Structure 1
Amino acid sequence: MSYKDDIKQHLSDYRLKKLGHLDKGVWKRKDTIYRFNHILPKKDNVVKLNILEPYRKLFYESELSQISYHKFFHHLNSSQAMCINFFFPLFIERKLEVILDIIGLSNDSVDYETACFEKESNIEKKGRRTSFDFYFKTKKGKNIYFEIKYTEYAFGKAKKDTNHKEKYKSEYSQKCSNINENFSDQDSFLTNYQLLRNLIHISKDSYVVLLYPKDNKRISKESKFAKFNLIKKEFQNHVIDLTWEELYDFSEKEIKDSKKLKTQIIEFDEKYRIKPYR
């Protein structure tokens, strides 16, 4: 069984145990309709159950919830929902500094006014801009961008069609100063499209965190390839190759003084099954 299928089965069991007997969610492929337990019915009051209960009400009442939700947000394996379930509680409790500790910026602090989900690129000017799953700026002016993965098969590639070639020529070709010259050409950029769209945001004051489960082997391999091949050597430390297990383990040790956060992180693991000992 693949990692993705294993997690979908786990989430199907989780749903029956934690969310009760809801209708199966619908997934449509071409003209065929499928129904699965790991997908929630696409009704607003039900879809909201994808956010864990301890911080659910606070999230939907906050400005951070005013975002564009992914097409498959109602899937229990949505990486967008996973991102919110982990980072929003840390934001509310002013505990995002645990992130700075794990990425080596412990002498800095978070500017909480800048934290947001679905952060649009501020360096892209044309067409659809890159959107990061989570972002914040530090008090010392460091930009921390997050690309979150869960059961995704791979980082995205782009079709080598006229539109993408034109986008590369007019936009991205001019923003590859920190990219390894062996991968900054048009063909390589489109082959590694999602990763390179992220990595062009790296600078001396900007970091990209690639966060994924250790058992998602293909994503792990591609993340390490990004760090050690796609980016120039002088910027390698600005690509943070991080597993959910590492982040969970570190965060769990740092939030012992908050009963609510402890409850949240236990429920997070119960849902997403990423505790380090697994």
Structure 2
Amino acid sequence: METLQLNNCRLTWLKGGVTHLDGGAMFGVVPKALWSRKYPHNENNQIELRTDPILIQWEGKNILIETGIGKGKLNEKQKRNFGVLEESEIEDELQSLGLSFEDIDYILMTHLHFDHACGLTRSQDGEYVSVFPNSKIIASKVEWDEMREPNIRSKNTYWRENWEAIQNQVETFEDEWNLGPIKMVHTGGHSDGHSIVVIEDGEDLVIHMADIMGTHAHQNVLWVMAYDDYPMDSIKAKDKWMKYGLENKAWFTFYHDAFYRAIKWDTENNILDKVERIR
């Protein structure tokens, strides 16, 4: 497991599964001749995308960013369509840290698409139950509302089996949510309710832009996904937080990146420091 130690917070990446999605969809209008220089693809034009939650440990609290794709949640057709070659190993990963599902205090959901939210519930005796029974699950109110009443476009990614069993654990916010050095900020863009996570821990700054900068190859402000419901909102938020992060030597962290867990760039886009994924 890869880690990043801050002043008071420790970040650890857990194995939440992997998907392989179409590279063109992941980079939108960016020509393949450009994006393929920065991120490899297979013979089917698919790129590897992790779904690895980040465990934040701070002052005795255990906080997850996202929950992976779950285990035993997807049928064979879904696995094939989404290129799922690995499912979640979060339970084993937590056990190796001396933790269990019951020890997670908060789950920060940047949004509730299936590849982020499948790990919230599991099937037990023919019904879905909460995986993290003691957690407060945090999401923007806009996102939570759409999760339960998706539109014609979003209904394919907001699944009832991912929210019905955990609805009593959910706490929503309008613009920002705070816990010590950690805050969530509603940005919109990828989805209407999409949020980012910002950690300001002494001199250490972490910006987790979730799916408005899904991988290190999405660093260019204009490189946004075809999956984004509101791409101009993605660009606006990404521009704002990239500038803030670069000016303040932030760590940019990733949930989907198959190669890097975190990168620190300078204002000329040179890599100052990095946490590479152990492959």
TM-score of the pair, normalised by structure 1 = 0.32
TM-score of the pair, normalised by structure 2 = 0.32
Greater CA radius of gyration, 1 or 2? 1
